[in-house]
Amino acid sequence: MRWAIFAILYILLTVYGFQAIKRVTKKTWIYYVFFGMAILIAGNLVFQFASGDAGRVLTPGKSYAFGFVLAFMAFNLVLLPFLVGEDIIRGSFGLYKKGLKKDKSFYMPSRRKFVSQVALGLAAIPFSSLLYGMYQGKYNFRVLRYVLHFEDLPEAFDGYKITQISDVHSGSFDDKEKIEYAINLINEQKSDVLMFTGDMVNNKASEMRPWKETFGRLKAKDGKFSVLGNHDYGDYVDWESAEAKQKNLEELIGIQKEIGFDLLLNESRYLEKEGQRLALVGVENWGKGGFKKAGDLEKATSQIQPDDFKILLTHDPSHWEAEVLKDPKHFHLTLSGHTHGMQFGIEIPGWVKWSPAKWRYKHWAGIYKEMGQYINVNRGFGYLGYPGRVGIWPEITVIELKKGTKSA
């Protein structure tokens, strides 16, 4: 049923897009090119999703097929309100003049060509942006830096630097050189500790095998710590048995160990410096809206003290709002990911911060503070679904902890 609705929508948008092109040019070869693209893009989508892996597994081929469909439909969708609106205005005005005023001599010169030209120009913006996001934007890595102040931060950790990455989604990668550049960029930050907040793969541990050596070069003098994300459990694959699914998870856990990550499965660790310490807490995935709720704060904090300075790693930021904020143990800083910032949006620091992700997640990208506690929602290292990024670039976060109150 969903595919039938999608097919009808695709055809209607294509027909309307053709009407706009037809008003602008009379060159038939352009018509053939337009319809040829429409058929090729739709045919590739059908081919990719009619074959391949079981379950909701998104291979690079499927992702690119989806990306090209998204770009083509966005192009036609922008045309729709212009052409429909112009039809309604012309039709209503003509009916009024001819019907109510009995003006049989009414004639309104068509502005359809001009409107079509404007609409095509505007439609080219999302179309080209989505193609750029697939070609270049997905590897347009940015280092975002924050300085956070805490009055109760142990003095030995004043100036302590944390690098956070999240949502690697290694099964989507298709450019080893770009990933190696990003790994070098992470190491160049020379942070004290590295924290990874989940989703190392799209679906299967095998996706990470070709990247073990590359990610194994990540460095941090006080260690590398990680938690699992919703995609790491293999829940979106139709496994032949429960044993096969468990074996996949065990392999992924083993890979993380080989890379050098200390994976926290509802556990805690202490970071020590000059006789003082920070409590590092890591929970399994906990998310609202149908996502796995394996995270257990009680279990994870069973070995730490109430007055410890606490940093929490939890993949899904909905956990922060639902459980973490109101927990009496007071988690000073929470690090999350998961949203990817929807891989699409507009961000101009100090001016605009928007993405469709805000309609689903209250905390979807960057630093937030509530009840004296901070969360950073990392925009993600990799990508999933749409094989690109537009406006919401892949992120490497560097957070510096400072003791005291921020000066004015």
Tell me the percentage of the chain whose pLDDT exceeds 70: 91
Residue ranges of E strands in 70-202: 142-150, 160-165, 193-196
Check pLDDT > 60 for residue 408: no
Whole-angstrom Cα distance, residue 45 to residue 225? 38
pLDDT tens digits for range 377-397:
999 999 999 999 999 999 999
- HEC string for 144-177: EEEEEEECCCCHHHCCEEEEEECCCCHHHCCCHH
pLDDT of residue 311: 98
Q: Buried (b) or exposed (e) across 286-310, using 16+ Cβ within 10 A?
A: bbeeebbeebebeebbeebeeebbb
State the average pLDDT over residues 220-239: 96
Domains of the chain: 2-135 (no CATH), 141-403 (3.60.21.10)
CB 268 within 8 A of CB 257: no
- Alpha-carbon gap, residue 68 to 182, rounded angstroms: 26
> How much of the chain is helix, strand and coil, in % rounded to 5?
45, 20, 35
Tell me: pLDDT of 9 over 80. yes
**pLDDT above 70 (res 336):** yes
CA of 235: how far to CAs of 52, 245, 291, 348, in Å? Answer: 17, 8, 10, 36
Average pLDDT over residues 68-75: 92
